[in-house]
Chain A
């Protein structure tokens, strides 16, 4: 059970995201959500449900058009862009479906990039990268190029990059979307292990089977949360 005395790491209150244009789109509608430190949250839903928009807002790559987002009790809506960048650099790790590894850098250098904008000195970055790689079982591939790795190994490198800087939360956008079921399973095992060590993980996925690794599953549809397993409350789509 969650400890209600602990400040939520992530707290959304009636958050909405509207994309303007000839046909304005409501990507998120009245989303309220709290994520406590150490939770493993899986966000499920069909395409267009607003999962990625929610994840981008949680990762401060995007901002809500209404509502309030607090990160460790700090309001982000009036936060300057440079502060958001600083929080991203120090406290948030990203894992993407497309890995986003730089092909001209070694595995170790790719991982060490996470400390680049956090102002970590190069020796320390390399040390942290080695540690992160050993956590995902790839320390022996430190000097290889990303193109020499399999898809599963590339995603493990991306996970190592996400955790290298010791972030408060790792946000993952379809981290197994490009992998076969066997490799997807091993990636989920890594997330599960990280979470057991205390790492907060928020993951967007299409695959319902992967929700078994999470403490909590949030179902989304049409930009709204329709079910949150933590609250054991099911909402109608018209709610």
Chain B
């Protein structure tokens, strides 16, 4: 009836203990069978245990992904515009009494001669305190100031620099600027405000009572957004008519550079424009966007690490709480298992495997929910979603770490349950 006694050689059939965890008497595959059966036994409890982990990991993945996406948007902004724009301002306030333009009239040409500059222009905003200019389309009606609108004096390179087309007419040309023709370009908002929609019929506007022929209407510009609400007149006309730029609104040379050349151009521009007094030309070196994004990324990394820790904590607390309650419920079961030959390590391994499996499932679900949130937010903001593939792997990793960590306390408690007491419990 009985097989031979074999207390000393391990398992009576195999003679050894392969395919088992160290110190365990149960096969690994059976551990997983038991875990799956236990988790499926009370699906409600399992789902509730999962909930905290899903929530924590979803929040972590969603916030991290949104931060990555937003950082990507910031980088794009820096690289496309700011990083390739150099502004040189006349330091008129430092040289009191100097009422000249501050820059040579061929500023744009000088800047364009620098290697790495693609476009440049010279411009200044007419000081509306020194020269309050009314804008009107009819010389006989009482003209009024248009609030929020400005008059900009510029050379003939401004339209090319602003990199926008004309919705009607044409841009200022070198002849008009050099000869001081009273011509004006209107920004799209200004034209709309003045009721000028096309130039099929020649139109005239009156600035401070002086007539200017409207030669073109500009489309909106991202490089110089201020142009939309401006009237642009030749700088030669402004100089002759209104005088040099004031201290309040000094002349400004703006150059568009190739990517990576801006810092060098910022150093060279003062000498190109004012070799006699380079200190008078202050060049704004563009912010190093790579440093800026590094800074953003560094602070975001801290945020992400904090979030990862928080989601680990949420997952741990959730799993540990539910598992502790479950261990109390299952005391008779553990007593039975001990009577069937389970060691304390077998009980502990089962509990920790249960919590680790819950953690992995929670991490996978949470990761996917987080991904959906990132996509939805990106679509609603018209962003391109940027998600590091590692982030999706991190969800289950966080889940399993929090699961194992959360399982330690309940596992120790379950393994310490006295089998006699546990069996009387039932």
Interface residues of A (CB under 8 A from B): 56, 59, 61-62, 72, 74, 81-83, 85-90, 94, 96, 98, 100, 102-105, 109, 113-114, 116-122, 166, 168, 197-199
Closest to B7 in A: A74
Q: Cβ of B338 < 8 Å from any Cβ of A?
A: yes
On whether the beta carbons of A198 and B346 are closer than 8 Å, the reply is no
B306 partner residues in chain A, CB cutoff 8 A: none
Q: Write out, one digit per residue, whether chain B residues 9-40 have a CB within 8 A of any chain A CB (1) or not (0).
A: 00111100100100101110110011001101
A198 partner residues in chain B, CB cutoff 8 A: 1
On whether the beta carbons of B13 and A83 are closer than 8 Å, the reply is no
Distance in Å: Cβ of A164 to nearest Cβ of chain B: 10
On whether the beta carbons of B338 and A116 are closer than 8 Å, the reply is no
Question: Which 4 A-B pairs rank lowest in CB-CB distance, beginning with the nearest?
Answer: A89-B341, A104-B41, A117-B341, A119-B11
Q: Which of B127-135, B193-201, B329-337 contacts A (4 or more CB under 8 A)?
A: B329-337
A113 partner residues in chain B, CB cutoff 8 A: 336-337, 340
When chains A and B are docked, how far (Å) is the Cα of A98 from the Cα of B343?
Answer: 22
Distance in Å: Cβ of A123 to nearest Cβ of chain B: 12
Partner of A85, one of B2, B25, B420: B25
Q: Cβ of B175 < 8 Å from any Cβ of A?
A: no
On whether the beta carbons of B420 and A81 are closer than 8 Å, the reply is no
On whether the beta carbons of A116 and B34 are closer than 8 Å, the reply is yes
Q: Cβ of B380 < 8 Å from any Cβ of A?
A: no
In this complex, how many residues of chain B approach chain A with their Cβ under 8 Å: the count is 41
Closest to B33 in A: A122
Can you give 28 A-B contacts (C-beta < 8 A)? A61-B338, A61-B339, A61-B419, A72-B5, A81-B343, A81-B344, A82-B23, A83-B7, A85-B342, A86-B341, A87-B7, A88-B338, A88-B341, A89-B342, A90-B12, A94-B340, A96-B423, A96-B426, A98-B332, A100-B336, A100-B423, A100-B426, A104-B38, A113-B336, A116-B26, A116-B34, A119-B20, A166-B3
A72 partner residues in chain B, CB cutoff 8 A: 5, 7
A82 partner residues in chain B, CB cutoff 8 A: 23, 25, 343
On whether the beta carbons of B2 and A166 are closer than 8 Å, the reply is yes
Closest to A197 in B: B1
Given A100-B335, A114-B340, the answer on whether A62 and B30 have CB atoms closer than 8 Å is no
On whether the beta carbons of B343 and A85 are closer than 8 Å, the reply is yes
Given A90-B341, A94-B339, A166-B1, the answer on whether A61 and B420 have CB atoms closer than 8 Å is yes
When chains A and B are docked, how far (Å) is the Cα of A102 from the Cα of B329?
Answer: 12
On whether the beta carbons of A104 and B37 are closer than 8 Å, the reply is yes
Closest to A82 in B: B343
Distance in Å: Cβ of A37 to nearest Cβ of chain B: 9
Q: Cβ of B382 < 8 Å from any Cβ of A?
A: no
Q: Which of A105, A119, A121 is the most central at the interface, judged by chain B CB atoms within 10 Å of its CB? A: A119
B14 partner residues in chain A, CB cutoff 8 A: 119
B344 partner residues in chain A, CB cutoff 8 A: 81
B338 partner residues in chain A, CB cutoff 8 A: 61, 85, 88
When chains A and B are docked, how far (Å) is the Cα of A61 from the Cα of B14?
Answer: 25
On whether the beta carbons of A117 and B346 are closer than 8 Å, the reply is yes
Q: Cβ of B381 < 8 Å from any Cβ of A?
A: no
B179 partner residues in chain A, CB cutoff 8 A: none
Closest to B29 in A: A122
Distance in Å: Cβ of A121 to nearest Cβ of chain B: 8
Closest to A117 in B: B341
When chains A and B are docked, how far (Å) is the Cα of A86 from the Cα of B343?
Answer: 8
Q: Cβ of B42 < 8 Å from any Cβ of A?
A: yes
On whether the beta carbons of A117 and B40 are closer than 8 Å, the reply is no
Given A100-B423, A119-B17, the answer on whether A89 and B33 have CB atoms closer than 8 Å is no
On whether the beta carbons of B332 and A100 are closer than 8 Å, the reply is yes
On whether the beta carbons of B7 and A104 are closer than 8 Å, the reply is no
